[in-house]
Amino acid sequence: MDASAFNPPRGMRDFYPEDMRSRNRLFTVWRDVAEQHGFAPYDACVVESLELLKRKSGEEIVDQIYTFTDKSGRDLALRPEMTPSLARMVVARQGALTLPIKWYAIAQCFRYERMSKGRKREHYQWNLDILGSADISAEVELLATALDALNRLGLGPDQVRVHYSSRALLSELLNHLGIDQPHHAATFLALDKLGKVDAAEIRTLLQAESLTPDAIDRVFELIALTTLDEVQARLGNTSPAIQSLRRFEELLGVYGLEKQVRFDLSIVRGLSYYTGIVFECFDVQRQFRALFGGGRYDNLLTDLGGKPASGVGLGFGDVVVAELLATLPARSDHQSPPALALGYMTENERIPAMRIADAFRRQQVGADLGLQPEKAKAFFARAGAGHFTHAVYLGPDDIQTGQIRIKRLKDRAEMVRPVSNPASEPLE
Ligand code: HAM
């Protein structure tokens, strides 16, 4: 059989134990940080109704949905993102939930994408969302949480930066140019393609929205503005979008995050539901795609038939962050908890070894028992290759003397313990 027959389908991943360890480390950081910032966990079904996921046309994501029909003829899909499911769950309980809520999830998402660096057809996404708060503090808390997670992974201000803008601000600018509200949503989706497709293609999209060549020139000119002050000069001091961006910057400063963010009008986002501040986080060298992205969405719940509630959220994928971390020197500060490998020379030591394993496990120390007698050399080779901190190899002599020797693998130091009570003291 061709070796490729054992590969997963293109764009999908298997996780062997070593991959799974890295994945678990990332998920642990995501979970710990979310909980420490006051987010509550939730989950949703991976299969959704296609109807829920299909929204306005023009969004790339809609064409990327994996769809199927079930045996009863229902049109279903694998979720490409978590946000519609979250909105559905909140609307279902909107009467009972006390808003605002802060929720997080780690969700596997599926998108039939063109495969490229940082893009697979399946990825895990850490979602953080705050629903029911119109206050700019929600954006700030969200970014503080995501940046905290990056920091714990070893990615600080020298490695990553958040670029932000505001669709409300862009709307004000488009109004200023005489481009009416009904054209804004499609204009945003076209502008999101800047840098990804050539300018001529974006022009065509904007022309299809009946923007005149002159208006298109002015849109391009606007998007090239680089500071909020320049934008303010066009819109004046009373712009509500500018006021909220200024407040956003001020509050980020309280957390000392002002140096890790940068105003960037070219950030628009490719999903149609965003209405306010939008942001994406990149490596400072801009070698990779976005590590996370998100923003404020005001109308998603009402679009689904719910009561109005403003939301703000982000999605942080597992693929790009792993690619970025792989370019940096490995960190040595990762401390594994104690874990004991247990081996034995002959069948006679099997049961004493089982008792020792049991004693450690009762103390919540991991203990892995050899499944059959083995030679000392083979045992220590196996123990050294695994994720163990300590090893015990039992021979007839140990049983006779009633003492075991616990070897600390990193320096071969030995601790002697009674066979009858081997886990009386913690492993050092
Ligand atoms: P998104 O920008 O489409 O936003 O995805 C968020 C993140 O998921 C990206 O920055 C990237 O890290 C990762 N990601 C997306 N697609 C792929 C892929 N094909 N392969 C690998 N990684 C990928 C959303 O999905 C929004 N629902 C986020 C959100 C939550 N907005 C509000 N709440």
pLDDT of residue 329: 87
Q: If you count them, how many residues does the chain have?
A: 428
Tell me the CA–centroid distance for residue 326 and ligand 1, in Å: 20
The residues that bridge with 269 in the sheet, in sequence order, are none
Average pLDDT of the residues in 408-426: 93
Average pLDDT of the residues in 207-218: 88
Say whether 60 sits in a helix, a strand or coil.
helix
- Both 63 and 176 in one domain: the answer is yes
Q: Which stretch of 152-156, 226-230, 274-278 has the lowest confidence by average pLDDT?
A: 226-230
Orientation of helix 199-208 relative to helix 213-223, angle to 10°: 130
Tokens representing 195 are 């840098």
- Both 308 and 344 in one domain: the answer is no
**Residues 128/142, Cβ–Cβ less than 8 Å:** yes
> Quick one: pLDDT band at residue 60, thresholds 50, 70, 90?
confident
CATH number at residue 398: 3.40.50.800
Q: Which of 326, 351, 377 is at the close of a domain?
A: 326
Tokens representing 222 are 């606007």
Tell me the CA–centroid distance for residue 230 and ligand 1, in Å: 30
The percentage of residues in the chain with a pLDDT greater than 70, rounded to a whole number, is 98
Q: Of 159, 161, 144, 125, which Cα lies nearest the Cα of 326?
A: 159
pLDDT of residue 237: 78
- Both 81 and 42 in one domain: the answer is yes
pLDDT of residue 174: 92
Q: Which atom of ligand 1 is nearest to the CA of 297?
A: 32
Q: Tell me: pLDDT of 58 over 80.
A: no
Best mutation site among 104, 280, 319 for ligand 1 pocket (most ligand atoms within 8 Å of CB)? 319
CATH number at residue 131: 3.30.930.10
Tokens representing 393 are 């190899």
pLDDT of residue 83: 97
Say whether 421 sits in a helix, a strand or coil.
coil
Number of domains within the chain: 2
- Both 252 and 356 in one domain: the answer is no
Entry pTM: 0.93
- Both 406 and 306 in one domain: the answer is no
Q: Tell me: pLDDT of 39 over 90.
A: yes
- Both 111 and 250 in one domain: the answer is yes
Average pLDDT of the residues in 46-56: 89
Q: Please name the helix (run of DSSP H) or strand (run of DSSP E) that holds residue 246, with its range, or none.
A: helix 240-254
Residue 48's Cβ-side half-sphere holds a number of Cα atoms within 13 Å equal to 26
Q: Tell me: pLDDT of 55 over 80.
A: no
- The whole-angstrom separation of Cα 367 and Cα 413 is 18
Give the pLDDT confidence of 64-113 residue by residue, as tens digits. Answer: 999 999 999 999 999 999 999 999 999 999 999 999 999 999 999 999 99
**For ligand 1, is residue 139 a contact (CB within 6 Å)?**
no
Q: Write the CA distances from 93 to 42, 71, 88, 415, integer angstroms.
A: 13, 29, 9, 57
- Both 280 and 407 in one domain: the answer is no
- Both 282 and 406 in one domain: the answer is no
pLDDT of residue 57: 59
Q: Of 288, 281, 326, 317, which Cα lies nearest the Cα of 117?
A: 288
| Domain that residue 408 falls in | 339-418
